[in-house]
Protein backbone atom coordinates (compact mmCIF):
# COMPACT_ATOMS: atom_id res chain seq x y z
CA UNK A 1 0.00 0.00 0.00
CA UNK A 2 1.59 3.27 -1.12
CA UNK A 3 -0.61 5.57 0.93
CA UNK A 4 -1.48 6.35 4.55
CA UNK A 5 -4.80 7.45 6.05
CA UNK A 6 -4.85 10.23 8.63
CA UNK A 7 -7.87 10.63 10.91
CA UNK A 8 -7.96 14.41 11.42
CA UNK A 9 -10.32 16.68 13.31
CA UNK A 10 -11.64 19.46 11.10
CA UNK A 11 -12.43 22.52 13.24
CA UNK A 12 -15.52 24.61 12.67
CA UNK A 13 -14.78 27.38 10.18
CA UNK A 14 -12.06 25.53 8.27
CA UNK A 15 -12.42 23.98 4.83
CA UNK A 16 -11.14 20.44 4.22
CA UNK A 17 -8.39 21.83 1.98
CA UNK A 18 -7.20 24.08 4.80
CA UNK A 19 -6.91 21.01 7.05
CA UNK A 20 -4.91 19.20 4.34
CA UNK A 21 -2.54 22.19 4.13
CA UNK A 22 -2.22 22.33 7.93
CA UNK A 23 -1.40 18.60 8.13
CA UNK A 24 1.23 18.97 5.41
CA UNK A 25 2.80 21.94 7.22
CA UNK A 26 2.85 20.00 10.51
CA UNK A 27 4.43 16.87 8.99
CA UNK A 28 7.67 17.49 7.03
CA UNK A 29 7.54 13.96 5.64
CA UNK A 30 4.36 14.84 3.72
CA UNK A 31 5.83 17.87 1.96
CA UNK A 32 6.13 16.28 -1.48
CA UNK A 33 3.43 13.59 -1.20
CA UNK A 34 0.11 13.76 -3.05
CA UNK A 35 -2.68 14.39 -0.54
CA UNK A 36 -6.47 14.49 -0.72
CA UNK A 37 -9.35 14.58 1.72
CA UNK A 38 -11.93 11.79 1.64
CA UNK A 39 -15.42 13.15 2.00
CA UNK A 40 -16.18 16.84 2.24
CA UNK A 41 -17.15 18.47 5.53
CA UNK A 42 -18.77 21.91 5.25
CA UNK A 43 -17.18 25.02 6.85
CA UNK A 44 -19.84 25.17 9.59
CA UNK A 45 -19.36 21.48 10.43
CA UNK A 46 -16.58 19.85 12.43
CA UNK A 47 -15.27 16.43 13.29
CA UNK A 48 -13.69 13.45 11.56
CA UNK A 49 -12.02 14.20 8.22
CA UNK A 50 -10.01 11.44 6.57
CA UNK A 51 -6.95 12.51 4.61
CA UNK A 52 -5.09 10.22 2.23
CA UNK A 53 -1.38 10.84 1.72
CA UNK A 54 0.82 9.03 -0.80
CA UNK A 55 0.34 7.22 -4.09
CA UNK A 56 -3.15 5.87 -4.56
CA UNK A 57 -5.64 4.86 -7.23
CA UNK A 58 -9.20 6.02 -7.70
CA UNK A 59 -10.32 2.62 -6.42
CA UNK A 60 -8.34 3.19 -3.21
CA UNK A 61 -10.02 6.55 -2.78
CA UNK A 62 -13.52 5.23 -3.51
CA UNK A 63 -13.13 2.59 -0.81
CA UNK A 64 -12.90 5.28 1.86
CA UNK A 65 -15.41 7.65 0.27
CA UNK A 66 -18.06 4.94 0.55
CA UNK A 67 -17.64 4.43 4.31
CA UNK A 68 -20.71 4.93 6.50
CA UNK A 69 -20.81 7.95 8.80
CA UNK A 70 -22.18 8.98 12.18
CA UNK A 71 -23.16 12.50 13.19
CA UNK A 72 -24.32 14.54 16.15
CA UNK A 73 -26.51 17.34 14.82
CA UNK A 74 -28.55 20.24 16.16
CA UNK A 75 -31.50 21.54 14.16
CA UNK A 76 -32.80 25.10 14.50
CA UNK A 77 -36.54 25.46 13.89
CA UNK A 78 -38.34 28.49 12.50
CA UNK A 79 -35.72 29.46 9.90
CA UNK A 80 -34.64 28.18 6.52
CA UNK A 81 -31.65 29.22 4.43
CA UNK A 82 -30.51 28.71 0.85
CA UNK A 83 -27.66 26.49 2.07
CA UNK A 84 -29.80 24.58 4.63
CA UNK A 85 -27.39 25.62 7.42
CA UNK A 86 -26.40 28.83 9.23
CA UNK A 87 -23.96 29.80 6.47
CA UNK A 88 -26.77 30.78 4.14
CA UNK A 89 -29.28 33.53 3.41
CA UNK A 90 -32.06 33.19 5.96
CA UNK A 91 -35.72 33.56 5.10
CA UNK A 92 -38.29 35.13 7.40
CA UNK A 93 -39.16 33.48 10.69
CA UNK A 94 -42.05 31.01 10.97
CA UNK A 95 -43.24 30.02 14.43
CA UNK A 96 -42.53 26.38 15.11
CA UNK A 97 -44.86 24.46 17.44
CA UNK A 98 -42.66 21.42 17.92
CA UNK A 99 -43.21 18.81 20.61
CA UNK A 100 -41.15 15.76 21.52
CA UNK A 101 -44.00 13.57 20.29
CA UNK A 102 -44.42 15.31 16.93
CA UNK A 103 -40.67 15.27 16.26
CA UNK A 104 -40.23 11.62 17.22
CA UNK A 105 -43.18 10.72 14.99
CA UNK A 106 -41.40 12.30 12.01
CA UNK A 107 -37.99 10.82 12.83
CA UNK A 108 -39.30 7.26 13.14
CA UNK A 109 -40.17 7.28 9.43
CA UNK A 110 -36.64 8.02 8.23
CA UNK A 111 -34.64 4.79 8.66
CA UNK A 112 -34.22 3.19 5.25
CA UNK A 113 -33.55 4.45 1.74
CA UNK A 114 -34.46 8.11 1.27
CA UNK A 115 -34.18 10.89 -1.32
CA UNK A 116 -33.30 14.34 -0.03
CA UNK A 117 -33.19 17.66 -1.84
CA UNK A 118 -29.52 18.60 -2.21
CA UNK A 119 -28.50 22.14 -1.18
CA UNK A 120 -27.83 24.36 -4.18
CA UNK A 121 -24.84 25.68 -2.25
CA UNK A 122 -22.95 22.40 -2.38
CA UNK A 123 -20.10 20.82 -4.35
CA UNK A 124 -22.37 18.47 -6.32
CA UNK A 125 -21.32 18.73 -9.99
CA UNK A 126 -23.86 20.12 -12.46
CA UNK A 127 -22.87 20.50 -16.12
CA UNK A 128 -19.19 20.32 -15.22
CA UNK A 129 -19.28 22.82 -12.35
CA UNK A 130 -20.04 22.58 -8.62
CA UNK A 131 -23.64 23.50 -7.84
CA UNK A 132 -22.56 26.48 -5.71
CA UNK A 133 -20.93 28.15 -8.72
CA UNK A 134 -24.25 28.21 -10.58
CA UNK A 135 -26.01 29.44 -7.43
CA UNK A 136 -23.55 32.31 -6.99
CA UNK A 137 -24.27 33.42 -10.55
CA UNK A 138 -28.02 33.28 -9.80
CA UNK A 139 -28.44 30.68 -12.52
CA UNK A 140 -31.61 28.64 -12.32
CA UNK A 141 -30.73 25.00 -11.77
CA UNK A 142 -33.03 22.04 -11.45
CA UNK A 143 -33.27 20.87 -7.81
CA UNK A 144 -31.29 17.68 -7.32
CA UNK A 145 -32.39 14.72 -5.26
CA UNK A 146 -29.72 12.67 -3.52
CA UNK A 147 -30.41 9.08 -2.55
CA UNK A 148 -28.88 7.71 0.63
CA UNK A 149 -29.64 5.40 3.52
CA UNK A 150 -30.46 6.37 7.10
CA UNK A 151 -29.57 3.45 9.35
CA UNK A 152 -30.57 5.03 12.62
CA UNK A 153 -31.80 8.42 13.80
CA UNK A 154 -32.48 9.33 17.41
CA UNK A 155 -33.81 12.39 19.20
CA UNK A 156 -31.57 13.29 22.13
CA UNK A 157 -33.05 16.54 23.37
CA UNK A 158 -35.34 19.45 22.53
CA UNK A 159 -34.27 22.76 24.01
CA UNK A 160 -34.46 26.48 23.40
CA UNK A 161 -31.91 29.16 22.66
CA UNK A 162 -32.38 32.84 23.38
CA UNK A 163 -32.34 35.33 20.54
CA UNK A 164 -29.23 36.97 22.00
CA UNK A 165 -27.35 33.68 22.30
CA UNK A 166 -28.39 32.66 18.79
CA UNK A 167 -27.23 35.99 17.39
CA UNK A 168 -23.89 35.71 19.20
CA UNK A 169 -23.38 32.11 18.04
CA UNK A 170 -24.06 32.98 14.41
CA UNK A 171 -21.74 36.00 14.45
CA UNK A 172 -18.94 34.19 16.27
CA UNK A 173 -18.90 31.12 14.05
CA UNK A 174 -19.54 32.67 10.66
CA UNK A 175 -16.60 34.98 11.33
CA UNK A 176 -14.41 31.89 11.77
CA UNK A 177 -14.98 30.98 8.11
CA UNK A 178 -12.32 32.22 5.70
CA UNK A 179 -12.70 32.47 1.95
CA UNK A 180 -15.64 33.79 -0.03
CA UNK A 181 -18.84 32.36 1.45
CA UNK A 182 -20.93 35.58 1.35
CA UNK A 183 -20.25 36.07 5.07
CA UNK A 184 -21.03 39.79 5.35
CA UNK A 185 -24.29 39.56 3.39
CA UNK A 186 -25.32 36.50 5.38
CA UNK A 187 -24.68 38.23 8.70
CA UNK A 188 -26.67 41.24 7.57
CA UNK A 189 -29.59 39.01 6.59
CA UNK A 190 -29.51 37.13 9.90
CA UNK A 191 -29.52 40.42 11.82
CA UNK A 192 -32.58 41.56 9.88
CA UNK A 193 -34.47 38.28 10.22
CA UNK A 194 -33.75 37.85 13.92
CA UNK A 195 -34.72 41.46 14.66
CA UNK A 196 -38.04 41.12 12.81
CA UNK A 197 -38.95 37.76 14.38
CA UNK A 198 -40.41 39.29 17.57
CA UNK A 199 -39.32 36.13 19.40
CA UNK A 200 -37.14 35.97 22.50
CA UNK A 201 -36.23 32.31 22.08
CA UNK A 202 -36.19 29.58 19.45
CA UNK A 203 -36.49 25.80 19.50
CA UNK A 204 -33.62 23.46 18.67
CA UNK A 205 -33.31 19.67 18.67
CA UNK A 206 -30.24 17.52 19.19
CA UNK A 207 -30.24 14.32 17.13
CA UNK A 208 -27.86 11.45 16.38
CA UNK A 209 -27.70 10.09 12.83
CA UNK A 210 -26.03 7.00 11.39
CA UNK A 211 -26.11 7.01 7.60
CA UNK A 212 -24.53 6.02 4.32
CA UNK A 213 -21.98 8.07 2.45
CA UNK A 214 -23.50 10.88 0.41
CA UNK A 215 -26.03 11.95 3.03
CA UNK A 216 -26.35 15.72 3.45
CA UNK A 217 -27.39 16.17 7.08
CA UNK A 218 -28.31 19.80 6.35
CA UNK A 219 -30.73 18.46 3.72
CA UNK A 220 -32.10 16.13 6.37
CA UNK A 221 -32.63 19.10 8.73
CA UNK A 222 -34.47 20.98 5.99
CA UNK A 223 -36.63 17.93 5.24
CA UNK A 224 -37.50 17.42 8.91
CA UNK A 225 -38.73 21.00 9.09
CA UNK A 226 -40.82 20.54 5.95
CA UNK A 227 -42.46 17.41 7.34
CA UNK A 228 -43.27 19.29 10.54
CA UNK A 229 -44.88 22.02 8.38
CA UNK A 230 -42.39 24.63 9.49
CA UNK A 231 -38.90 25.88 8.60
CA UNK A 232 -35.67 24.34 9.82
CA UNK A 233 -31.96 24.50 9.14
CA UNK A 234 -28.83 22.86 10.47
CA UNK A 235 -27.52 24.70 13.52
CA UNK A 236 -24.54 22.53 14.42
CA UNK A 237 -22.93 19.38 13.03
CA UNK A 238 -20.20 17.12 14.37
CA UNK A 239 -19.10 14.07 12.38
CA UNK A 240 -18.17 11.63 15.10
CA UNK A 241 -17.26 8.57 13.03
CA UNK A 242 -16.32 7.55 9.48
CA UNK A 243 -16.26 3.78 9.13
CA UNK A 244 -14.03 2.58 11.98
CA UNK A 245 -12.34 5.98 12.36
CA UNK A 246 -13.60 7.57 15.57
CA UNK A 247 -13.45 11.19 16.64
CA UNK A 248 -11.71 10.17 19.88
CA UNK A 249 -8.63 9.22 17.86
CA UNK A 250 -8.68 12.25 15.54
CA UNK A 251 -5.50 14.34 15.15
CA UNK A 252 -6.10 17.92 16.27
CA UNK A 253 -4.47 20.43 13.94
CA UNK A 254 -4.34 24.14 14.67
CATH number at residue 182: 3.30.2350.10
94 and 135 inside one domain: yes
Query: Is the CA virtual torsion 134, 135, 139, 145 positive or negative?
Result: positive
213 and 151 inside one domain: yes
Query: At residue 91, does pLDDT exceed 90?
Result: yes
7 and 90 inside one domain: no
Number of H helices, E strands in the chain: 7, 12
Rounded average pLDDT over 22-32: 93
pLDDT given at position 109: 95
Of the candidates 41, 36, 40, which has an alpha carbon nearest to the alpha carbon of residue 57?
Answer: 36
E strands of the chain, at which residues?
3-10, 35-38, 45-54, 69-77, 112-117, 125-126, 129-130, 145-162, 201-211, 232-242, 245-246, 251-252
What is the signed CA dihedral for 109, 115, 120, 121, rounded to 10 degrees?
60
pLDDT band at 2 (very low <50, low <70, confident <90, very high): confident
54 and 177 inside one domain: no
Rounded average pLDDT over 109-130: 85
Could you give the 3-state DSSP secondary structure of residue 232?
Answer: strand
Residue 162 · residue 200 · CB < 8 Å: yes
44 and 106 inside one domain: no
pLDDT band at 123 (very low <50, low <70, confident <90, very high): confident
Angle at 123 between CA 127 and CA 49, to 5 degrees: 150
150 and 178 inside one domain: yes
48 and 143 inside one domain: no
Q: What residues contact residue 225 under an 8 Å CB cut-off, 6+ apart?
A: 75, 77, 80, 96, 231, 232, 233
52 and 41 inside one domain: yes
174-186 pLDDT, tens digit per residue, is 999 988 899 999 9
125 and 160 inside one domain: yes
Distance from C-alpha of 116 to C-alpha of 216, rounded to nearest angstrom: 8
pLDDT given at position 1: 65
The total number of structural domains in the chain stands at 2
pLDDT given at position 17: 95
pTM score, whole prediction: 0.94
88 and 48 inside one domain: no
Strands 125-126 and 129-130: antiparallel
235 and 137 inside one domain: yes
Query: At residue 121, does pLDDT exceed 80?
Result: no
Instruction: Show the domain range for 28.
Output: 3-67+245-252
189-226 pLDDT, tens digit per residue, is 999 999 999 999 999 999 999 999 999 999 999 999 99
Distance from C-alpha of 199 to C-alpha of 95, rounded to nearest angstrom: 9
Instruction: Look up residue 81 and give its DSSP letter.
Output: B
- Cβ-count burial of 130 within 10 angstroms (0-12 exposed, 13-18 middle, 19+ buried)? middle
Rounded average pLDDT over 8-22: 96
Distance from C-alpha of 68 to C-alpha of 109, rounded to nearest angstrom: 20
Query: At residue 51, does pLDDT exceed 80?
Result: yes
Q: What residues contact residue 106 under an 8 Å CB cut-off, 6+ apart?
A: 224, 227, 228
58 and 77 inside one domain: no
Instruction: Look up residue 83 and give its DSSP letter.
Output: T
Amino acid sequence: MGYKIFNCYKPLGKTPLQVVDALRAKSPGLKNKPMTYLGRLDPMAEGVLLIMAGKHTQADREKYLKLDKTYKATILFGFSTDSFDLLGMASGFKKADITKHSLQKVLQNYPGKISLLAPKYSSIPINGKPSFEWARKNKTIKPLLRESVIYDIKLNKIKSISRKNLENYIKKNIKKVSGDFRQEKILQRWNKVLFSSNQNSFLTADISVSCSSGTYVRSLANDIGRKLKTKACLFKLVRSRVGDYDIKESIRIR
